[in-house]
Amino acid sequence: MTTNIILLGPPGAGKGTQARKLTEDRGLVQLSTGDMLREARKSSTETGKRVAEVMDRGELVTDEIVIDLIRERIQAGGSGFIFDGFPRTLVQADALRELMEEQGQTIAAVIEMSVDDDQLVKRISGRFTCGGCGEVYHDTSRPTQVSGSCDDCGSEQLLRRPDDNAESLRTRLMEYYKKTSPLVGYFWREGKLHRVNGLQSIGNVSADVNRLMEGLSEREAL
């Protein structure tokens, strides 16, 4: 069985960046509820519009909507999932546990990426992503090699998220501390919590994460 993991951390901690690296390095499958919701908000249905408003304010979308999105993906089969930005509430964590059990799967580890608020503000305010392939960049810490085009796919469609502004970020941080940070205790109690210092360079964080993954697969092989 391939290992399933959760990346936990505040907005801007580097979850998406590390999830993408793990898909390249270890062939895991990234399940980002943020990306799924950005897809869902494009639809002109009532739900689509409501999702867009809530996301732009920086609040959490209802548990029901995100759990439905994740259920669809898990029930479609497969394993080796990286949950990126999910679960974000205790209700979501319980739902995930049930969905995994139904499929005879487990979460091997939860990697908490810790970064202080000052750095989060800097990361969010400099973030942009490639509209072609989803690669994540930053104005100073991870610029594109050629200005204006994606290193990976060459697309010139480089986008900034509407919710990456100071006001929405303040709300997102509050949402994180109020609703998501209790998950640290939840997973600690299950003996699954691992902490990585997210203030390091992208490469060093990735090395720590990969070391942790090696440890998990050794344990699985025993």
Instruction: State the binding string over 134-163 for Zn ion (x if CB under 5 A, else -).
Output: -x--------------x-xx-x--------
Q: Under rule CB under 6 A, which residues in 54-113 are in contact with ligand ADP? A: 54-55, 58-61, 66, 85-86, 88, 92
- Select the span of 50-58, 95-103, 146-154, 212-220 touching ligand ADP (CB under 6 A): 50-58
Q: Residue 82: which of Zn ion, ligand ADP, none does it interact with, CB under 5 to 8 A by kind?
A: none
Torsion of CA 134, 136, 139, 141, to 10 degrees: -160
- Select the span of 7-15, 22-30, 74-82, 97-105 touching ligand ADP (CB under 6 A): 7-15
Residue 205 interacts with ligand ADP (CB under 6 A): yes or no? yes
Q: Residue 130: which of Zn ion, ligand ADP, none does it interact with, CB under 5 to 8 A by kind?
A: Zn ion
Residue of 5, 4, 26, 30 lying closest to 136 (CA atoms): 30
Whether residue 88 lies in the annotated active site = yes
Residue 134 Cα distances to 71, 128, 131, 157, angstroms: 23, 10, 6, 10
> What does the alpha-carbon distance between residue 222 and residue 209 come to, in Å, rounded to a whole number?
21
If the CB atoms of residues 24 and 220 are measured against ligand ADP, the closer one turns out to be 24
Query: Smallest gap, in angstroms, from Cβ of residue 219 to ligand ADP?
Result: 26
Q: Are the beta carbons of 60 and 112 closer than 8 angstroms? A: no
Sort 64 into a burial class: Cβ within 10 Å, 0-12 / 13-18 / 19+.
exposed
Residue 137 interacts with ligand ADP (CB under 6 A): yes or no? yes
Written as one letter, the residue type at 2 is: T
Helix (H) or strand (E) segment spanning residue 111: strand 109-114
Binding site for Zn ion (CB under 5 A): 130, 132-133, 135, 150, 152-153, 155
- Residues forming the active site: 15, 88, 127, 161, 172
